[in-house]
Amino acid sequence: MATEIAREGTVQRSTTFLRDVRAEMAKVTWPDWPQVRQLSIGVIILSLIVGGVITLMDIVFRTVLMTWLPRMFAGG
């Protein structure tokens, strides 16, 4: 008996949830294709710039740690 009541409550909550989701999705303003393309290009360019900065930092840190530090502490 308690299980049936719990199931009915779950079904009712699920139905209400889906109805609310549908109502909220109707309010969403979706971007058009030119906006999607422009923003996608922006994300790609920004990702390439960040990747380049990380690569540059890696090269600098690797050079400092592998070349300069051993020379500084080589006992010269």
Beta-carbon-side half-sphere exposure of residue 46 (alpha carbons within 13 Å): 6
pLDDT confidence of residue 25: 94
56 SS3 class: helix
pLDDT confidence of residue 6: 60
Question: CA angle at residue 17 from 12 to 19, to 5 degrees?
Answer: 95
pLDDT confidence of residue 75: 64
With 70 as the cut, is the pLDDT of residue 21 above it? Answer: yes
Mean pLDDT of 10-35: 93
**d(C-alpha 49, C-alpha 40), whole Å:** 14
Yes or no: say if 31 and 39 are a contact pair by the CB < 8 Å rule: yes
pLDDT confidence of residue 35: 97
pLDDT confidence of residue 70: 83
